[in-house]
Amino acid sequence: MRYLQVEDMRDLAYGAAILGTGGGGDPYIGMLLAEQVIREYGPVKLVGLDEIDDDAFSASVAYVGAPVVMIEKLMGFADMVKAFQSLERYMGRKFTAVISAEIGGANSIVPVSVAAALNLPLIDADGMGRAYPEIPLVTWTLHGISATPMAMADEKGNSLILETIDNHWTERFSRSIATDMGAEASAALYPASGSELKRSSVPNSVTRVIEIGKAISDARDAHHNVIETVLKATDGIHLFTGKIVDVLRRIEGGYSRGECTIEGLGDYRGQKMVLHFQNENLIAFVDDDPVAVVPDLITLLDSDTGDAVTTEHLRYGYRVDAIGIPCDPQWRTPEGLALGGPAHFGYEVEYVPIEQRA
Amino acid sequence: MRYLQVEDMRDLAYGAAILGTGGGGDPYIGMLLAEQVIREYGPVKLVGLDEIDDDAFSASVAYVGAPVVMIEKLMGFADMVKAFQSLERYMGRKFTAVISAEIGGANSIVPVSVAAALNLPLIDADGMGRAYPEIPLVTWTLHGISATPMAMADEKGNSLILETIDNHWTERFSRSIATDMGAEASAALYPASGSELKRSSVPNSVTRVIEIGKAISDARDAHHNVIETVLKATDGIHLFTGKIVDVLRRIEGGYSRGECTIEGLGDYRGQKMVLHFQNENLIAFVDDDPVAVVPDLITLLDSDTGDAVTTEHLRYGYRVDAIGIPCDPQWRTPEGLALGGPAHFGYEVEYVPIEQRA
């Protein structure tokens, strides 16, 4: 057990950007929000899975929709609290903790704000160990835990409660609703007990992102190479260095989808990387060979600063290093690959763990 | 106060088809369902607005979506009861009556089934005095009554509760959700008290459709002219006789939209009627002059049988008579016209009451 302080928020944001694998929204905005909320309400208690009771009762809070919009439409914190509380009212039971559904991107920081504002502990775990673009894509689904009842709310004052037969229907409805709500909506979902979470979550992931972020901050202060530091802190593998020469991006069914083409520089001169994304980076090809495949994480780093580059910030001329990070072991089981592997996103590419490819 | 019996269902269906103004779904299916339910559960008590208590508490039940699908996807009665009961659970209060939101088409018959199955009275009134293609288009909206909390359910077992800031947002969300649910969904909506309904509803409309239907049945038995009977029973005005020569129909944003072109026959030879619809018939032009304009009702009758022809049954070669029926006076106020008049549907046509045009 420890407390998350204002000064942890920057590390959390840096680390979450790395594990955000290009998606999950810009954590910088989430960081500003969390800093402000902790200043106002005080530090947040971070509790390990082994420290919570079996009958603890938690829910996740997350922004659902296309993260590109988040830049223009500042995330509505009040709506997130409203969604969380309307789920409590619907279920007739108070939540005793908050947990992150994903540990990459803004959705890993927003739960800190809700925990602070409601004086609830945050569980040091999540349902992905990365960011993923669809609601069912959590380890919780592999254990039969339902995303519903789920509450959604927007900044206009609209809200709703979903009850579905499976997490794929939840995804379908919530995408349409998020689109109607202005491409992005606040959601409270995956209500679950302590015993359910213990057997199904990715453990210690909040601590992990803060450590990654701290390593980056320290490297920067000491003028060390940030990219090497990220590789070391994440057990990552260097994939490519180059310059972005083309970005195709479209909003489709409530997702930001697209491809980014990177022309090799230095050791990679003469080679070409094509990176496919759906909110998050999904698969990276070098000269048509897959070099990293979902569920492994693919992150682009700004070659100058080492900052993670989210898919909505991709633009012509950006010099980037692409890195790959091994995913949580749950995603490498046959069930995990069926749920969140390349075939789910329409790629006929065999999944080989990134350490084996390298 | 009277009881609705099995044998009233046919008259209700015939009358509802006339006031359905081309939309509201095929009432024949609703009739079969209501007959079966009344046989199983017994007759339904029909109570006038003046017979209900001010603190009575009712909701409407209705199919939301594109009625063309109703032909292929038999309406799920269990889902309708489920929606009604999940709204009760959400509101923490039992409903003491059922009321129809619209009196045209299948949605005027479905509430009979729910009332029968749950042993509740049906209120002899509705929120339109016709059929309309959008949730906010009820006289209740003119009196500030909210469609939400609203429950929706599908035959797969998915359900949800909506809480919105106004009835236009309800429409927007429920269209998307109905589309996801398979183009059609069961809904329970417009929870309201007796005193609210008394000042805002179209009175006696269930009795009215049954009387219209009865007049048609009697005319048919006596080999009288059905079309003349319909005109007399509805205070209707004959608009056109002809043969359908073209139908353009598309499913757009969860609606059946289109135009139907009718070539004049008999007295109308050489003339052409073009009828625009969005689930319901909206506006009829003869040689480019508007002859009937929403909110007045426009209904096509089969020239041979006098049966109302719904928009999903329009097809080349059909011989039809077009009739117009004056709408409820509430729709002719400035507020009524702003809500449900031609401008709402994008027509720059002045509304002139159909009796004045004729």
What pLDDT, in 10s, does the model give residues B16-25? 999 999 987 7
- pLDDT of residue B69 exceeding 80, the answer is no
Distance from CA of B156 to the nearest CA of A (A): 7
Site from B87, B150, B163 to mutate, A interface, most A CB atoms within 10 angstroms: B163
Three-state SS at A331: helix
- DSSP-assigned states of every residue in A149-208: SEEEE-TTS-EEEEE-SSHHHHHHHHHHHHHHTTSEEEEEEEEEEHHHHHHHSEETHHHH
What pLDDT, in 10s, does the model give residues A238-273? 999 999 999 998 877 667 789 999 999 999 999 999
What pLDDT, in 10s, does the model give residues B88-113? 999 999 999 999 999 988 888 889 99
What pLDDT, in 10s, does the model give residues A156-176? 999 999 999 999 999 999 999
Contacts of B159 in chain A (CB under 8 A): 163-164
Say if B216 falls within a structural domain.
no
Axis-axis angle for helices A226-234, A8-19 (nearest 10): 80
**Predicted pLDDT at B75:** 55
CB-CB under 8 Å, A173 with B177: yes
C-alpha angle B309/B227/B354, rounded to 5°? Answer: 80
Distance from CA of B39 to the nearest CA of A (A): 32
Distance from CA of B14 to the nearest CA of A (A): 36
Calculate the average pLDDT of chain B.
92
Number of folded domains that form chain A: 2
Looking at the fold, whether B156 and B21 belong to one and the same domain comes out as: yes
Say if A274 falls within a structural domain.
yes
**Predicted pLDDT at A67:** 57
State the residue range of the domain holding B177: 2-205
What pLDDT, in 10s, does the model give residues A3-38? 999 999 999 999 999 999 998 777 777 788 889 889
DSSP-derived pairing of the beta strands A57-65 and A97-100: parallel
Higher pLDDT, A67 or A319: A319
**Predicted pLDDT at A184:** 82
**Taking residues A48-71, what's their average pLDDT?**
84
Higher pLDDT, B68 or A76: A76
Chain A residue with the nearest C-alpha to that of B166: A158
Higher pLDDT, B140 or A69: B140
DSSP-derived pairing of the beta strands B150-153 and B97-100: unpaired
CB-CB under 8 Å, A161 with B90: yes
Say if B19 falls within a structural domain.
yes
Is A180 at the interface with chain B, CB within 8 A? yes
Looking at the fold, whether A139 and A201 belong to one and the same domain comes out as: yes
- pLDDT of residue B250 exceeding 90, the answer is no
Calculate the average pLDDT of chain A.
92
Domain boundary among B157, B189, B205: B205
**Predicted pLDDT at A73:** 47
- pLDDT of residue A122 exceeding 70, the answer is yes
According to the 3-state scheme, what is the secondary structure of chain B?
A: CEEECCCHHHHHHHHHHHHCCCCCCCHHHHHHHHHHHHHHHCCEEEECHHHCCCCCEEEEEEEEECHHHHHCCCCCHHHHHHHHHHHHHHHCCCCCEEEECCCCCHHHCHHHHHHHHHCCCEEEEECCCCCCCCCCCCHHHHCCCCCCCEEEECCCCCEEEEECCCHHHHHHHHHHHHHHCCCEEEEEEEEEEHHHHHHHCEECHHHHHHHHHHHHHHHHHCCCCHHHHHHHHHCCEEEEEEEEEEEEEEEECCEEEEEEEEEECHHHCCCEEEEEEECEEEEEEECCEEEEECCCEEEEEECCCCCEECHHHCCCCCEEEEEEECCCHHHHCHHHHHHHCHHHHCCCCCCCCHHHHC
d(CA A253, CA B76) in angstroms, rounded, equals 28
Three-state SS at A216: helix
CB-CB under 8 Å, A157 with B173: no
d(CA B271, CA B263) in angstroms, rounded, equals 6
Looking at the fold, whether B167 and B283 belong to one and the same domain comes out as: no
Is B161 at the interface with chain A, CB within 8 A? yes
- pLDDT of residue B226 exceeding 90, the answer is yes
Percent of chain A exceeding pLDDT 90 equals 80
- pLDDT of residue A69 exceeding 50, the answer is no
Higher pLDDT, B70 or A250: A250
Bridge partners, A257 (sequence order): A250, A278
Looking at the fold, whether B132 and B84 belong to one and the same domain comes out as: yes
Q: Domain holding B300: CATH number?
A: 2.40.390
Say if A215 falls within a structural domain.
no
- pLDDT of residue B247 exceeding 60, the answer is yes
pLDDT tier at B253, thresholds 50, 70, 90: low
Is A173 at the interface with chain B, CB within 8 A? yes
Distance from CA of B162 to the nearest CA of A (A): 4
What pLDDT, in 10s, does the model give residues A271-300? 999 999 998 999 999 999 999 999 999 999
d(CA B224, CA B208) in angstroms, rounded, equals 20
Smallest Cβ–Cβ distance between B160 and the set A86, A156, A162 belongs to A162
Looking at the fold, whether A126 and A261 belong to one and the same domain comes out as: no
Contacts of B179 in chain A (CB under 8 A): 176
- The tokens describing B348, both together, are 């720059």
Looking at the fold, whether A86 and A121 belong to one and the same domain comes out as: yes
Is A169 at the interface with chain B, CB within 8 A? yes
Contacts of A173 in chain B (CB under 8 A): 158, 160, 177, 180
**Whose structure tokens read 């109302």?**
B308
Looking at the fold, whether A183 and A226 belong to one and the same domain comes out as: no
CB-CB under 8 Å, B158 with A169: yes
Domain boundary among A150, A174, A205: A205
Say if B114 falls within a structural domain.
yes
CB-CB under 8 Å, B165 with A163: no
pLDDT tier at A106, thresholds 50, 70, 90: confident
Percent of chain B exceeding pLDDT 70 equals 96
- The tokens describing A240, both together, are 């490519």
- CA diameter of chain A: 61
Site from A150, A152, A161, A179 to mutate, B interface, most B CB atoms within 10 angstroms: A161
**Taking residues B202-210, what's their average pLDDT?**
97
pLDDT tier at B30, thresholds 50, 70, 90: confident
Looking at the fold, whether A50 and A134 belong to one and the same domain comes out as: yes
**Predicted pLDDT at A75:** 55
Distance from CA of B349 to the nearest CA of A (A): 30
* pTM of structure: 0.88
**Predicted pLDDT at A72:** 46
Chains A, B: CB contacts within 8 A come to: 53
- pLDDT of residue A71 exceeding 80, the answer is no
Q: Domain holding B6: CATH number?
A: 3.40.1610.10
Looking at the fold, whether B160 and B13 belong to one and the same domain comes out as: yes
Contacts of A86 in chain B (CB under 8 A): 163
Contacts of A161 in chain B (CB under 8 A): 90, 160-161
Q: Which residues contact A344 (CB under 8 A, 6 or more apart)?
A: A137, A338
- The tokens describing B47, both together, are 């109570």
CB-CB under 8 Å, A159 with B163: yes
Q: Domain holding A243: CATH number?
A: 2.40.390.10
**Predicted pLDDT at B72:** 47
Distance from CA of B199 to the nearest CA of A (A): 27
Say if B162 falls within a structural domain.
yes
| Residue A83, H or E segment | helix A77-91
Is B166 at the interface with chain A, CB within 8 A? no
**Predicted pLDDT at B336:** 98
CB-CB under 8 Å, A177 with B165: no
Looking at the fold, whether B174 and B32 belong to one and the same domain comes out as: yes
**Predicted pLDDT at B73:** 47
Q: Is the peptide bond before B149 cis (omega within 30 degrees of 0)?
A: yes
Burial class (CB in 10 A: 0-12, 13-18, 19+), B278: buried
Bridge partners, B163 (sequence order): A159
Complex ipTM? 0.82
Q: What's the gap between Cα A210 and its chain centre? A: 14
Higher pLDDT, A89 or A68: A89
| Residue A116, H or E segment | helix A110-118
- pLDDT of residue B289 exceeding 60, the answer is yes
Looking at the fold, whether A170 and A242 belong to one and the same domain comes out as: no
Looking at the fold, whether B47 and B185 belong to one and the same domain comes out as: yes
CB-CB under 8 Å, A165 with B156: yes
Chain B residue with the nearest C-alpha to that of A172: B180
Contacts of B160 in chain A (CB under 8 A): 160-163, 173
**Predicted pLDDT at A76:** 61
Say if B29 falls within a structural domain.
yes
**Predicted pLDDT at A254:** 65
- pLDDT of residue B121 exceeding 90, the answer is yes
Say if A280 falls within a structural domain.
yes
